[in-house]
Structure 1
Amino acid sequence: MPKRTRKHVARKTVLRLPDLDHSKTSVLNSLSPPRSRRNYKFAMEQFIDWYCSEPRLALNRTVVLRFRLHLESLGLAAGTINQRLAAVRRLAYEAADSGLLSPELAAGIRRVKGVKQLGCRAGNWLNKDQARLLLEKANGSGLRPVRDVAMISILLGCGLRRAELSALRRENIQIRQGHWAIVDLVGKGNHVRTVPMPIWVKGAVDRWLTAASVTTGRVFRAVSRHGTAWGNGISENVVWYVVRSCAQRLEFDHLAPHDLRRTCAKLCHVNGGELEQIQFLLGHASVLTTERCLRLQAELGRARERPLWVPVPWRGRFAIRPVLIN
């Protein structure tokens, strides 16, 4: 009896739009965090639009390298480019697992390196006087300023992310060991932590809850133009616009909600807070992330005390002499 010959499955090299959409759906279904789904969806759609606008090209390592050059031409940061490339690699993996792309081509795409990021960005933060002035400028008459003060107070006093702030519920604010705290806060990566709430932050939140008559559900709601609270919550963009509008009154450029979170960490560090306590407050999975957030201010604070070594002429030659910065 003749043996049955196994039919050879021909893998594709050029993926069309239905194949790319199928792989994109598979990638999104494998991701659980909403933020990751949103970022990967945007990155994959950007690559698909660029890939379909080009002539029919094989999805290989050379094409992904060309896409990396395209991202660099847009002036994007190194971290953003690497995030987009990670989404493209994931798209190729899913296409290979589904039998739509050759495993050799997927392995070649995996070898595409990201953009190197030299150095570390200093970021932006406020000192104690600037933080107090920001709260004063956010205050005003009406329901909307009361909400804005409460939101900025939580960002400065508790160090929450804007996603955590928008999802904050009334039931999370409880008393623990005689102190007010945000209990069982689910943060990035589904990490659960308890954040202490200072008294002045609790007072600002209570004024908002009383004025808006919020007893359950999400703490912060949208405010209509008539000055009334409505809806079941706010989005992360509302937090961003509130911080930006309050910063523009003080002529603070490029102030984002994450800058207020960084300000909370730095003020805690200045007042004697330990590194492990600040890590738990911010919800960092690694203490290295907390050190990276705090290291730059310490170096800038000690920069005026360090000697600056400069070349000076001495006996017809150049010698190195320390000069203190005053």
Structure 2
Amino acid sequence: MYAQKHRKPPCRKIVLRLPDLDHTKSAVLNSLSSPCSRRNYKFAMEQFITWYCSEPRLALNRAVVLRFRLYLESLGLAAGTINQRLAAVRRLAYEAADSGLLSPELAAGIRRIKGVKQLGARAGNWLTRDQARALLEIADGEDLRSIRDLAMISVLLGCGLRRAELSALEVDDLQIRQGHWAIVDLVGKGGHIRTVPMPLWVKAAIDRWISAANVKAGRIFRVVSRHGTSWGKGISEYVIWYVVRGCAERMQLDHLAPHDLRRICAKLSHASGGELEQIQFLLGHVSVLTTERYLGCKQNLEEPVNDRFGCLFAPGTVDLR
């Protein structure tokens, strides 16, 4: 009884060495279920560990993480990127405290660090209906690779899928529901399950690829070799990225990414009279605020309000002397 009362509390560290940080990083990665989250958190934590170990005598506390935030800002990173990496550092501190490697008081101080405020909203890279049709026309062709590329871009534009969802799409996922083709029980970001309706023109593009590549089961999209034959059991997300960027460059469009086609799908659906709630279901967003950002309807750059009062002055028509 006397020994229990006078037992010393466990000694928590204030300085974590590289083995402790590696152990904590592995614990954080093992707690994440999404491959995308694991990849992003791994990069962010390794960046912080490299920076932290460059000054080995630093204590892992609130002041140090604030210095790391200033370091990220000096790199010219976007506010969202900085906040994502700060979230990974907070997670690292939580896990270190739970494992008995860091004082709970220090972890609580790190938790109170606020992220960087994002001033204003970025202008998204949306295409008009005619530009979207032109992108599909550029991807079209008679060879097997062009048939596959057209089908992939059609799904991205017509169904608003993410890259990971497109690469994991299987033949059995395409089913008829309520008299309409749909991608049934699609497992999306965060494990959320949704059913995505598929327009007939998108289904026709997929059927053309499946017939040309002789795909019977498993993943729909496969690698196309230099000899024009289909092989393998699927494609990576990087293939989708290069396909979209390649078609965009042929249209002389800069900075068009596969995720932009997801935003274009949302905006075209909204411009055609689609309800906001149904677009939210289509994209699989938990919050309707995310869907509103995808629509880009807060600022109309196609018909700006300051163009309505006409031209006030044309250079060269008035003598100002």
TM-score, normalised relative to structure 1: 0.90
Q: What is the one-letter code of the residue matched to 1:82? A: N
Matches within 5 A, 1:56-205: 56-205=57-206
Alignment pair present for 1:207 and 2:199: no
Distance of 1:3 and 1:253 partners within structure 2: 71
Counterpart contact for 1:180–1:197, Cα < 8 Å = yes
Count of matched residue pairs = 309
Counterpart contact for 2:167–2:221, Cα < 8 Å = yes
Partner-residue secondary structure (3-state), 2:300: helix
TM-score, normalised relative to structure 2: 0.91
Report the Cα offset of residue 298 of structure 1: 6.1
Report the Cα offset of residue 198 of structure 1: 1.1
Counterpart contact for 1:158–1:281, Cα < 8 Å = yes
Match of 1:33 in 2: 34
Report the Cα offset of residue 141 of structure 1: 3.4
Matches within 5 A, 1:255-270: 255-270=256-271
Distance of 2:13 and 2:298 partners within structure 1: 53
Describe the shift of the 1:254–1:12 C-alpha distance in structure 2 as closer, same or farther (beyond 3 A).
same
The superposition leaves residues 116-145 of structure 1 with CA deviations (integer Å, 9 ceiling, x where unpaired) of 101111211111111111111112232111
Gap runs ≥5 in structure 1: 309-326
Q: What is the one-letter code of the residue matched to 1:213? A: N
Report the Cα offset of residue 193 of structure 1: 1.3
Report the Cα offset of residue 2 of structure 1: 5.2
Distance of 2:258 and 2:188 partners within structure 1: 15
Describe the shift of the 1:297–1:93 C-alpha distance in structure 2 as closer, same or farther (beyond 3 A).
closer
Distance of 1:178 and 1:74 partners within structure 2: 53
Counterpart contact for 1:122–1:296, Cα < 8 Å = no
The superposition leaves residues 126-176 of structure 1 with CA deviations (integer Å, 9 ceiling, x where unpaired) of 111111111111122321111100000001111111111111111001112
Partner-residue secondary structure (3-state), 2:71: helix
Q: What is the one-letter code of the residue matched to 1:185? A: L
Match of 2:319 in 1: none
Gap runs ≥5 in structure 2: 310-321
Partner-residue secondary structure (3-state), 1:7: coil
Distance of 2:205 and 2:114 partners within structure 1: 48
The superposition leaves residues 58-90 of structure 1 with CA deviations (integer Å, 9 ceiling, x where unpaired) of 111111111111111111110010000000011
The superposition leaves residues 160-198 of structure 1 with CA deviations (integer Å, 9 ceiling, x where unpaired) of 111111111110011122221111111112111111111
Report the Cα offset of residue 305 of structure 1: 7.7
Q: What is the one-letter code of the residue matched to 1:252? A: L
Counterpart contact for 2:124–2:296, Cα < 8 Å = no
Distance of 1:277 and 1:35 partners within structure 2: 26
Distance of 1:8 and 1:52 partners within structure 2: 28
Alignment pair present for 1:233 and 2:234: yes
Match of 2:312 in 1: none
Report the Cα offset of residue 302 of structure 1: 5.3
Describe the shift of the 1:203–1:105 C-alpha distance in structure 2 as closer, same or farther (beyond 3 A).
same
Q: What is the one-letter code of the residue matched to 2:48? A: F
Counterpart contact for 1:11–1:101, Cα < 8 Å = yes
Distance of 2:281 and 2:243 partners within structure 1: 26
Match of 1:48 in 2: 49
Partner-residue secondary structure (3-state), 2:184: strand
What fraction of aligned residue pairs are identical, expressed as a percent?
Answer: 76
Report the Cα offset of residue 45 of structure 1: 0.9
Distance of 2:298 and 2:149 partners within structure 1: 28
Counterpart contact for 2:267–2:296, Cα < 8 Å = no
Partner-residue secondary structure (3-state), 1:81: helix
Distance of 2:244 and 2:2 partners within structure 1: 76
Q: More displaced, 145-154 or 51-60?
A: 51-60
Matches within 5 A, 1:243-258: 243-258=244-259
Partner-residue secondary structure (3-state), 1:125: coil
Tell me which protein shows more strand as a share of its residues.
Answer: 1
* Cα RMSD (Å): 1.8
Counterpart contact for 2:169–2:220, Cα < 8 Å = yes
Match of 1:303 in 2: 304
